[in-house]
Amino acid sequence: MDKFRIMFQFLQSNQESFMNGICGIMVLASAQLYSAFEFSCPCLPEYNFAYGIGILVVPPIWFFLLGFVLNNNVSMLAEEWRRPMGKRRKDPTVLRYMFCSITQRSLIAPAVWISVTLMDGKSFLCAFSINLDVQKFGNKSDHGLSDAALERLLAKIPCKHIFDGDAVVSREAASRYIRCISQAFGWAFLLMMTSMAFLVRAIRPCFTQAAFLKTKYWSHYIDIERKLFDETCTEHAKAFAKICIQQYFESVSGEMHTFHGQPPDRDEEDKPKSDEDRLLGIRVEGDMNKVLWNWHSCKPSLNLKKDPPRYEEANGHLDTFVNGHTHQPETQSKKEWATYYSNI
């Protein structure tokens, strides 16, 4: 369990490795799901095409949406897109880079499903068996079948156990022919996807290297900033809850000692103040709510000062940040000089 916990913490700290692992799991899941899937063509002219194309298209759409659901950057992208402008402007190129990165990873599992399905050829055979040219595999005129009867016969080609038209068309030859076309489409699809991936991954940074580095940097910054903010809020919530519980028990203990006429214990006067430091001067529920709201509505500008304010000064100006406005600090009072005269 410790090994799995360490691995999960590593993947969670490294967003790119985590998402690559999710993509790999989805690829394996798509291939395993197809191998475990029981393909049953209805073998009816009215439903063959819908069933075959549905097997080819619907699962990739589901895998594509699942890739968006499992990607943690989707909520971050939506938050960054919908947040108010505040003191920090929104860069459309960064948002576009994040969306393209999410989309690329979400397309891997659907591409694998489509490739495996086309290489197998069952859905393609089910969908296009009624469009087979009978003149290549049999003789239509010798049997005098109507168009509707011939269509029903061709729809039974994917179903080996119920096909009864070997005198009209060779089922084995027709199946091999349609599967060959399906595999050709599969290899063409793989070549197209590989070429597109090469163009996106290799050629794009060569033409816009500076813009690519800028968007990649700020995309990582947004991700890291959100993680650090969540960690800080978690530490603050733990310290807030711990101190609140301690104060509750101390008040109850004081009331009980007063009731029994015993003085309270003073053994914990030298307890560490680490929890107090984690509160960062925010000790009221309303102040914390205002801080969280201001973080969403008006994020600080990306203009860091050389000498950041000390912790004491930050606590002193907490009310100005909470109330959403700033004011100049009061000027120090001038020193007063007193003169004493001696009577000697």
More confident residue, 290 or 329: 290
pLDDT in tens, 45-93: 999 999 999 999 999 999 899 888 888 788 878 888 887 777 778 788 8
Q: Which of 74-78, 233-237, 273-277 has the highest mean pLDDT?
A: 233-237
| Residue type (1 letter), 302 | L
pLDDT in tens, 297-324: 777 777 777 655 544 444 444 454 444 4
What b-and-e string marks burial along 255-281, b requiring 16 or more CB atoms within 10 Å of the CB?
eeeeeeeeeeeeeeeeeeeebeebbbe
Domain ranges of the chain: 12-207, 208-261+274-298
More confident residue, 343 or 133: 133
| Whether the Cβ atoms of residue 174 and residue 135 lie closer than 8 Å to each other | no
**Alpha-carbon distance 192 to 189, whole Å?**
5
Eight-state DSSP code of residue 141: T
| Residue type (1 letter), 155 | A
Query: What are the residues whose beta carbons fall under 8 Å from the beta carbon of 158, sequence distance 6 or more?
Result: 41, 43, 48, 122, 125, 126, 129, 175
Question: Which pair of tokens denotes residue 309?
Answer: 């304010």
Mean of pLDDT values over 100-105: 86
Angle between helices 92-106 and 48-70 (to 10 degrees): 130
Q: Which of 32-36, 253-257, 327-331 has the highest mean pLDDT?
A: 32-36
